[in-house]
Amino acid sequence: MPTQPSAATSPAPSTRPTTPLPVRRLGATGPGVSALGLGCMGMSALYGEADRAESLATVHAALDAGITLLDTGDFYGMGHNELLIAEALRTAPSAARERALVSVKFGALRAPDGAWLGYDGRPAAVKNFLAHSLQRLGTGHIDIYRLSRVDPQVPIEETVGAIAEAVQAGYVRHIGLSEAGPETIRRAAAVAPVADVQIEYSLISRGIEDEILPVCRELGIAVTAYGVLSRGLISGHWSAGRRLSPDDFRALSPRFGGEHLTRNLALVESLRAVAADLGLTVAQTAIAWVLAQGEDIVPLIGARRRDRLTEALGALGARLGPDGLAAVEQAVPAGAASGERYPAAQMAHLDSERRRPRPGTP
Ligand SMILES: NC(=O)c1ccc[n+]([C@@H]2O[C@H](COP(=O)([O-])OP(=O)(O)OC[C@H]3O[C@@H](n4cnc5c(N)ncnc54)[C@H](OP(=O)(O)O)[C@@H]3O)[C@@H](O)[C@H]2O)c1
């Protein structure tokens, strides 16, 4: 995405991948992107304090390593994250800047104190959010634009229709979705081509496998997977004694507390043993497992330090093979996670988690 022209405590693990990085396509109509994307949210919000200089250095290191997909949301630090990405791109070498694609989520409404007020997917709101994001990013277009959570008050056809108009006008290149359920995906794709659905997917969050992933595959839509390390929980670097600031999402996340945390960290120890046999770190094994689930899945890695990025990139060279995959899934069986992936109030906003009657049941 061309814009206006213009530093860790743990050891840096594992190998760097060969360059250029492998490319995966975002659906039948979307762009080719590096097989790993960089999720920038934690550099501005939700995971406690971030080091600004290290965040910028991490984006630069990602671009340098060949990552071409940067993911953000206009509500990550209320514009902070977009401004950070704009600065990183402005100060990056021009070739890396030209290759970079920025994916932006919009629609979340927040108060000055950070409170979550709901979502707005009305067409007028789409235009308004877009105008502000273009200004903050210092660019004439956004590469992939998506509503962060389906707005139950606004038919998805209207929201996607408004983004499609922005595509026609040249302000947006591709349309994405986020945490959308199967019916919403079908309805959206009937309005305009959808490149990808951004959704949580990991060894301990496998909910998309039953319906959402098959629908995406049927319609030629890719998955950009977030939470691949379950926000650090299954990275191998988490510990029960870790202190969290009150504004850290994980302080309220069911999986990070009490008995749930104890059980989830026990799963990580099982995974650690398998990872050691594979010659990988725990994080690399978790990322490699997601990479192995299909060429149409692009993990978004939430690294905000260069050593974490280097570790994540090491997953690209890993080949788990059938025996490795089986060993990983034996260590962390489907459905083994303890606790929901969001607090109850936020689960209620997930169209992807809406309980649907099973076929054949009354
Ligand atoms: N569409 C949606 O609803 C949605 C929701 C959430 C996130 N996202 C997107 O997805 C991106 C990824 O976020 P996530 O929370 O899902 O990321 P994640 O990769 O599951 O977790 C990131 C956290 O894992 C820790 N970590 C440990 N080892 C790591 C390693 N080798 N590489 C990377 N991280 C490591 C980091 O903690 P330390 O910082 O302590 O090192 C970091 O805070 C976000 O930045 C955002 O763009 C989208």
Report phi then psi at 202, rounded to 5. -160, 180
Structure confidence by residue, pLDDT tens digits, 92-137: 999 999 999 999 999 999 999 989 999 999 999 999 999 999 999 9
Rounded CA-CA distance 215/279 in Å is 35
Give the Å distance between the CA of 361 and the centre of ligand 1.
Answer: 38
- Is residue 191 a contact partner of residue 160, using CB atoms and an 8 Å limit? yes
Cα–ligand 1 centroid distance for 39 (angstroms): 6
Give the mutation target among 208, 308, 310, 341 for probing the ligand 1 site: most ligand atoms within 8 A of CB.
Answer: 308
**Mean of the per-residue pLDDT values of the chain:** 93
- Residue 1 domain-assigned (yes or no): no
In a domain, 41, yes or no: yes
The number of folded domains in the chain is 1
N residues, the chain: 362
Residue range(s) defining the domain that contains residue 147: 23-352
Rounded to the nearest 10 degrees, what angle do helices 258-278 and 282-291 cross at?
80
Identity of the amino acid at 204 = I
pLDDT confidence tier of residue 246, bands split at 50, 70 and 90 = confident
Instruction: Indicate the pLDDT class of residue 4, thresholds 50, 70 and 90.
Output: very low
- What sign results for the dihedral spanned by CA atoms 10, 13, 18, 24? negative
Report, as residue numbers or ranges, the catalytic residues.
Answer: 76
Q: How far apart are CA 69 and CA 143, in angstroms?
A: 9
DSSP string for residues in 341-359: SS-HHHHTT-GGG---PPT
Residue minimizing CA distance to atom 8 of ligand 1: 226
Which residue lies with its CA nearest to atom 14 of ligand 1?
Answer: 227
In one-letter notation, the amino acid at residue 187 is: R
Phi, psi of 76, rounded to the nearest 5 degrees: -75, 100
Among the listed residues 126, 136, 130, the one whose alpha carbon sits nearest the alpha carbon of residue 171: 130
Whether 282 is in a domain gets the answer yes
* pLDDT at residue 213 is higher than 80: yes
Query: Does 196 reside within a domain?
Result: yes
| CA-nearest residue, atom 25 of ligand 1 | 232
Q: What pLDDT, on a 0 to 100 scale, did the predictor assign at position 13?
A: 40
* 232 pLDDT above the threshold of 80: yes
**What sign results for the dihedral spanned by CA atoms 35, 71, 40, 215?**
negative
Residue 276 forms part of a structural domain: yes
Strand 101-106 relative to strand 172-178, pairing: unpaired
CA dist list (Å): 65 to 11, 61, 153, 242, 312:
18, 6, 42, 30, 11
Indicate the pTM of the whole model. 0.94
Q: What letter would DSSP give residue 22? A: P
Whether the per-residue pLDDT at 250 is higher than 50: the answer is yes
**Helix and strand tally (H, E) in the chain?**
13, 12
Q: Within a domain: residue 360? A: no
**Does residue 316 belong to any structural domain of this protein?**
yes
Cβ-based burial of 239 (10 A; exposed 0-12, middle 13-18, buried ≥19): exposed
The CATH number that applies at residue 166 is 3.20.20.100
Q: Is residue 243 part of a domain?
A: yes
- On the question of pLDDT at 7 being above 50, the answer is no
Query: Which residues line ligand 1 at a C-beta cut-off of 6 Å?
Result: 39-42, 47, 71, 105, 148, 178-179, 198, 226-232, 235, 237, 283, 300-305, 308, 311-312
Which residue's CA is minimally distant from atom 26 of ligand 1?
Answer: 232
Residue 20 pLDDT class (50, 70, 90 cuts) = confident
* Gap from CA of 347 to ligand 1 centroid (Å): 18
Q: Which of 179, 191, 204 is nearest to 254 (CA)?
A: 204
Q: Are 228 and 301 in contact (CB under 8 A)?
A: yes
Could you tell me the pLDDT band of residue 1, with boundaries at 50, 70 and 90? low
C-alpha Rg value of the chain to the nearest Å: 19
